[in-house]
Amino acid sequence: MGKSNLISPHGSETLKILLLEGKAREDELKKAESLPKVVMTTRETGDLIMLGIGGFTPLEGFMSEADWKGVCENMTMANGIFWPIPVTLSHDEKVDAGTEICLISGETEEIMGTMMVTECYKIDKEFECKHVYTTTDAEHPGVKMVMGQKEWNLAGPVKVLSESYFPKDFADIYMRPAESRKVFEEKGWKTIAALQLRNPMHRSHEYLGKIAIEVSDGLFIHQLVGQLKPGDIPADVRVDCINTLVENYFDKNRVLTGGYPLDMRYAGPREGLLHAVFRQNFGCTHMIIGRDHAGVGNYYGPFDAQEIFFNLPEGALECKMLPIDWTFWCYKCGGMASMKTCPHAKEDRLFLSGTALRKALSEGGEVPSEFSREEVLKILRAYYAGLKDEDKVEVKMHGHATGDAEVKKKK
- Examine the domain organization and report whether 230 and 331 are in the same domain: yes
Q: What are phi and psi of 98, to 5 degrees?
A: 95, -5
- The domain in which residue 184 lies consists of 180-260+266-411
Q: What is the DSSP letter of 133?
A: I
- Examine the domain organization and report whether 146 and 220 are in the same domain: no
Question: Would you say residue 141 lies in a domain?
Answer: yes
Tell me the pairing of strands 37-40 and 100-105.
parallel
The pLDDT of residue 403 is: 53
Tell me the pairing of strands 192-197 and 286-289.
parallel
- What pTM value is reported for the model? 0.92
Q: Which of 122, 138, 164 is the last residue of a domain?
A: 164
Q: Which residues are catalytic?
A: 198-199
- Examine the domain organization and report whether 230 and 254 are in the same domain: yes
- Examine the domain organization and report whether 193 and 233 are in the same domain: yes
Q: Which of 101, 129, 164 is the last residue of a domain?
A: 164
pLDDT in tens, 390-401: 655 555 544 444
Question: Would you say residue 6 lies in a domain?
Answer: no
- Examine the domain organization and report whether 74 and 185 are in the same domain: no
- Examine the domain organization and report whether 150 and 240 are in the same domain: no
pLDDT in tens, 189-204: 999 999 998 888 889 9
- Examine the domain organization and report whether 150 and 285 are in the same domain: no
The pLDDT of residue 12 is: 98
- Examine the domain organization and report whether 217 and 90 are in the same domain: no
Question: Would you say residue 16 lies in a domain?
Answer: no
- Examine the domain organization and report whether 229 and 361 are in the same domain: yes
- Examine the domain organization and report whether 152 and 186 are in the same domain: no
- Examine the domain organization and report whether 226 and 272 are in the same domain: yes
Question: Would you say residue 15 lies in a domain?
Answer: no
Q: What is the DSSP letter of 346?
A: G
Amino acid identity at 89: L
What CATH number should be reported for the domain holding residue 208? Answer: 3.40.50.620
What CATH number should be reported for the domain holding residue 107? Answer: 3.10.400.10
Q: What is the DSSP letter of 253?
A: G
pLDDT in tens, 355-405: 777 778 888 778 888 888 999 999 988 988 888 776 555 555 444 444 555
Q: Which of 117, 137, 164 is the last residue of a domain?
A: 164
Question: Would you say residue 12 lies in a domain?
Answer: no
Question: Would you say residue 169 lies in a domain?
Answer: no
Q: How far is CA 169 from CA 35, 165, 273, 386, in A?
A: 29, 6, 28, 21
Query: Residues for the chain: how many in total?
Result: 411
- Examine the domain organization and report whether 295 and 146 are in the same domain: no
Half-sphere exposure for 235 (CA within 13 Å, toward CB): 22
What's the rounded mean pLDDT across residues 244-252? Answer: 94
Question: Would you say residue 315 lies in a domain?
Answer: yes
pLDDT in tens, 272-325: 999 999 999 999 999 999 989 999 989 999 999 999 999 999 999 999 999 999
Domain count, the chain: 2
